[in-house]
Chain A
């Protein structure tokens, strides 16, 4: 594990967050919320691309060929494996997971690595609106289940007290370690996280998750451009062959 691995994890999670937001662009409780879902989706997809662009300057690109064929090689959290069926899932992801990614980006911007300091700063400005949106909907009250799940996955994603994020913090590359990241997330959301017991022995340090599994087949096909090809004219398809 390295800083590049962490940046790739943020990028993959933001890509999936953006896609899941976009799925709610016509299903949210109001027209304004529809538009916000679309706008936040676009933001997070853009952020993902910026993060991927940081891998080369960081000196190491951990993306392998397996990403083209194996959905299990993507580094997104289990929360994004399946499309959300309830608005409460959207809100919990928006308030807790999106903010968790933002506090990690803050830790990158305030750390010692120049390329992250410069390239990620603008994201923090855009994320302010995601945060206001998520926190406001969270205050209106949602089911405990998606909320607890989002908290658990956020804390797992920050990593163990003696893991790579803690090491990057000690080296100064990140301004916050796992404990500080959780405290910052709680401070931002003005609430305490539920008690989460993580069995770090079963935790995957590359995908930063404990639960096995991967994103659904349709979404993976879409990411690979295969869904798009279904709508291409027959002549265009035959030319490719």
Chain B
């Protein structure tokens, strides 16, 4: 299965996670593309800071270990 990637050159895709209360788990709110962690942090904050999150975190998409994908058994 071919998956769409929107990165080019040295840029890396990061997934952005956040939550609004301590009681809820972190959930994915979007993604950003950046050449390094610092810029990814700045972009994530600029792009997803509209809501009152109590926590936000980013992770390199390549560091996520997938167990299965949509369409797989």
Contact = CB atoms under 8 A, between A and B. Distances in A.
Interface residues of B, number: 14
A40 interface: yes
A98 to B, nearest CB: 12
Interface residues of chain B: helix, strand, loop or mixed (majority):
helix
A32 B38 contact: no
B35 A140 contact: yes
Nearest to A137: B39
| Most interface-central of A33, A130, A133 (chain B CB within 10 A) | A133
Interface residues of A, number: 17
Given A32-B47, A35-B47, A39-B49, A133 B35 contact: no
Interface residues of chain A: helix, strand, loop or mixed (majority):
helix
A35 B46 contact: yes
B33 A129 contact: no
Contact of A132 (B32, B33, B35, B41): B41
A186 to B, nearest CB: 18
B31 to A, nearest CB: 10
Interface string B23-49: 000000000111110110111011101
A32 B38 CA distance: 13
Nearest to B41: A132
